[in-house]
Structure 1
Amino acid sequence: MYPDVILLNGTGSSGKTSLAKELQELLPTQFLNFSIDSVLYALPPSDLKHMMKGEEITRDGYNYGQLTEGYHRCVKGLLESGCRVIIDNAWINEEEIDALESVLKGFNVQRVKVQCRLDVCVARELARGDRAIGLAEWEFPLVHQHMKYDLVVDTSDISPKEAAAQLFEKLRSGEEVEA
């Protein structure tokens, strides 16, 4: 009844990870919350601080594309071991999405468009303090261009708990995409 993968795609600070955590509590089957942040927070602390400030990471061997590929491979490894996962990122370029889709081939995936008004994302980004200022605004026009969705949830004016309840009901009922 439930998919192997619940993929949350949306602008930075749109509430994806908060939504994932709340959704985990509602699902009757265990899902791991495995965000790109799970990989990024494994960076050396000084590199992570640079990233959060929007500064270039100059350490030899740093390659964001490599980290993203590693993240995708980790997702596949978790799935192949029998885990179900909720994954989230702001997938914005077609090549990266194609690489992800290749990894997810053969698994039951529900792709969720996490919508949020830009003004709300910007305010959340400022309040968080752990993101490069301007990231949400940069991602906003790009994030939904290349992915096809099964479901949509708008986190602009509701709490993560309310958004998770809406998404849970859509997953449970098999509702189709609404946008």
Structure 2
Amino acid sequence: MYPDVILLNGTGSSGKTSLAKQLQELIPVQYLNFSIDSILYTLPPSDLKRMMAGGAIERDGYDYHQLTDGYHHCVGALLKAGCRVIIDNAWVHQDELDALEDILSDFEVVRVKVQCRLDICIHRELSRGDRAIGLAEWEYPLVHNYMKYDVVVDTSDISPKEAAAFLLVELEKFNKSRSR
């Protein structure tokens, strides 16, 4: 049995979503790739554009922490429905991570530290065109402060497919250790 949740935590533009997509193709069981971006892309297009440009969303009722909380509850609902999920975000606040851990407490979770050199994250962020410039640099010293990891994947010098192949081997080791 593979875990219910594969949690990818890393700085913006570290390669989490690319890793998740490649892993979905390699892993022999069905996983949904459900990133925080799945929620952010439901924002009104003008607000999303403002956010990606690094501006503040000033629409009445906007609350990033509320969106994150909603994301976590969506993850919980998918799990309760029997889906396996790969989730990814840059969790930089202890309270948000604690709230997520409460939701995940009844499920098998493998926590993956997705690390990447800052210069590469910044380069990717600039090339993408859909990220607030400076986000990776802001998150970099914060993102790994509150989580204990089962696996570490460094995406600095390998392709997403290579990173996924490495992670798959680690997940298979996890499976074998659980079945003993």
TM-score of the pair, normalised by structure 1: 0.97
Matches for 1:61-72 after TM superposition, within 5 Å: 61-72=61-72
In 1, Cα distance between the equivalents of 2:113 and 2:148?
9
In 2, Cα distance between the equivalents of 1:34 and 1:14?
16
| Corresponding residue of 1:82 | 82
Q: Which runs of 5+ in 1 are unaligned?
A: none
- 1:89 deviation in Å? 0.1
> Is residue 12 of structure 1 aligned with residue 12 of structure 2?
yes
| Corresponding residue of 1:152 | 152
In 1, Cα distance between the equivalents of 2:28 and 2:60?
44
Matches for 1:11-160 after TM superposition, within 5 Å: 11-160=11-160
Q: CA RMSD in A?
A: 1.0
Deviant stretches of 4+, over 2 Å: none
Percent of residue pairs identical:
73
> Is residue 173 of structure 1 aligned with residue 173 of structure 2?
yes
- Give secondary structure in 1 for the equivalent of 2:133: coil
- Give secondary structure in 2 for the equivalent of 1:33: strand
- 1:173 deviation in Å? 1.6
In 1, Cα distance between the equivalents of 2:102 and 2:54?
30
AA of the residue aligned to 1:59 = R
In 2, Cα distance between the equivalents of 1:137 and 1:64?
19
